[in-house]
Structure 1
Amino acid sequence: MKQRPQQVQRMIESRSIFGHGFLALIALLVIAALMSGSLRALVLVVLVLIIGFSLGLLLGRRRESVTGGETALDTPSSGLNSSHFSARFLDSALKEMREGLLVIDADMRVVASNRAARNLFSDLNDVIDSRRLTELTRNPAIYDAFLDAVRGKERTGVKVETYGQERRVFDLRVVPLRSTNGHGSGGAVGVFFDVTRLERLEIIRQEFLSNVSHELRTPLTSIRALAETLENGAIEDHQNNRRFLFIIQKNADRMHRLIDDILELSAIEAGNVKVKPEIIQLHPLVEDVIASLSASAVARKITVDDLVDRKAEVFADPHRLLQMLTNLVDNAIKFNREGGTVTIRHESDRADRIRVEDSGEGIPAHHLDRLFERFYRVDRARSRELGGTGLGLAIVKHLARAHGGEVIVESRFGEGSQFTIELPHNITMKATASATLNV
């Protein structure tokens, strides 16, 4: 093989060094962009990539002119045209971006966009390049942000809402582009960050804090008022002082249950509660639930029927299943008619289903979709009177899902309610456990 000219060899080495340096620059820019959250930094990364690949710094040209002649060089391009590769690379990168990228010129026409941006204007069948921005949207927030950027003003934190099949919220950030001669505007680059989920979580957080403060304030107000009454002389009122102390204790217990449920639910939602499913006998567990709630059932003259087969088995964490069933049966007793019935059944086909049925007043249909939300109550006054925290069903929902299952409610107003815990089978684990038990 003919040895390469020394000049060519030096060129290859220079290119290799420069290429590695360019890769290092890209890495540093990406890290800086992610750390700073700056749109300018993100745009700079894109521009450097465009320049770098266009010049062939990473892949090299297929041929180099050396000392007036053409000498073929072996490069990582493997015969691919670097410009063609650059275009494909950038197109692929833009397509995979979750954020919508929109580039307009000084005349407010779209000159470049990616798939995420085109999805924002889906009624246009993905054809948005070369169209004026006013043809794409009537949303004044979008138009004003790009117009300001074209005039040289960077815009960040612009809230954009879209209403299609579902409401979506975007944080739009737009920066101006200078013209090639450095004078005047060359257009603008805008990035749409989808913050729908973040906004939804923020709303949930605010509602949660509002509900917690309200739920704690109610018993605290009662405790404080009664304590002041006792302090002002009622402690000597032997006919009422014990009643006041009983109410204080009742409200303190309510706060304790509320705090316990909040901590429990927070731990479950954070994934800090690990379920440890195993093959368990269902009937003894149901009997334990009934025994623990017998005093409440007797007080309201409620009959609790256990129709679970004595040989029934389920694959679940025994402690967590006990917790779920206790919550459901407790509710079925509390919100039942005096002298009513509660029935517990088990079915097994594609999954194990444990049903808790009551003969109460039922739940109006418009409440069913929100029944498992935190602090949601059909009858707030009655729930507080009965000592409910408003978190029991939310805990049941999350524990069922932690098992890979679900909890379902069916109810008709005036005809009672039925709550079903649905748990998946684990055939392999069941077979293994049964074999172990039979040894």
Structure 2
Amino acid sequence: MLRSIAVLMLVAAALPAHARVDAVQAARLGQDLMPLGGERAGNAAGTIPSWEGGLSTPPAGYQPGMHHPDPYAGDTQLYRVDASNAAQYKAVLAPGYQKLLEKHPGYYLRVFPTRRSAAAPQRIYDATRYNATNAGLISGGNGIEGTAAGIPFPIPQSGQEAIWNHIARYRGDQVRMVTNQAAVLANGDYTLLKRDREILFIYGREGVTPADLDNTLFFYKYAVTAPSKLAGSSLVVQETLDQVLAIRKAWRFSRGERRVRRLPMLAYDAMQPDTNGMATADVVDAYNGAPDRYEWTLVGKQEMLMPYNSYAVHQKGTPYETILQKKSVNPDLLRYELHRVWVVEAHLRKGFSHPYATRRFYIDEDSWQILAVDLYDKSGAMVGLQEAHPISYYDVPMFGSTLETIYDFKGDRYYVDGLDNNEPMYDFNVKLNKTDFTAAALRREGI
């Protein structure tokens, strides 16, 4: 591990560095700041505890391949926020949640004690400490340099730096997962779409240097396996770090045509297939891709009620029909906690179009996972709320979403991705190779 960090330092030293903080500020990491940049101490009220290392080892009884048992199953609910008392909690409720409670009075937030469970491998902490004085933005903020692992800007000075922290956060070295998505219509109808998905991360891999990245963040592939009328279609994506310099490459295999086609654009406001028009390309993982079409503002840090430690909705065997209710995900399976979040606003630049002209992101200070997003159209009207319901995958360790939702307030409907309760659990040790993520591989596997 020390050798990989040393190599990283030598290679990055040859690059033009744009330090974001000085050595004195960087020394705070691992001291009054936790290793990824969050405040180590709790809040003055005692409602947010100090960070004590997070969940970095599995609890007793855990076996590899299990849907992660809830280490906080014994916690008692503190209170419930619903339409009748939302005004009382307005200071800690994002506008999107206020709107959700107003539109769907049957919805509620079950609030539990705050558990700061986010954790990552030590090498990610080491790389983040190095990045604090060496990583920089390039291409007008649309790429990063001087780093190959870790959070690029643990003490962010701008909205662009904060959003890059989310984009580049650690999500494992590789993963294979089988998940379902559903577009739940206003009448409650939906069809589950099952996908077998694989991701090979390049940024963040152990031993990778900036020279090894070749402008690549990760490789991604999925194959639709159900329903039968859609099964057989597949997609492969080569995700670039600087998408202005080189846009992401994507190819799709169509079962009907039995051929592979290069997709001209799979980014920004391009609609994802089979989402009933509710999910643009850039809402995957709460936000992905080039940030060049928005102006980014770092508003500051706030204490907010956010989805967190969502183990209940992750448990094996829970029927999907129990999770997917008519107007919303079943609130009895969701958990909310009070956390400090970085608030970042994104305003669409002139000359570009997108259903979301303004977005307000709430980014976890401990992990840089986006937890919620307020969505506004070009008239300034709030049109949606996006959520990521995260858990600590303590077997890695890695903190990330197990379920993602988008509520469409205009259409009175919602979209869900990540349903895995009746599928094999994520495999973070799967053997993957770059050659698995090419048009040729897609064609070969499709045939």
TM-score normalised according to structure 2 size: 0.19
Max Rg structure: 1
Higher strand share: 2
Higher helix share: 1
Greater RCO (Cα-Cα under 8 Å, separation 6 or more):
2
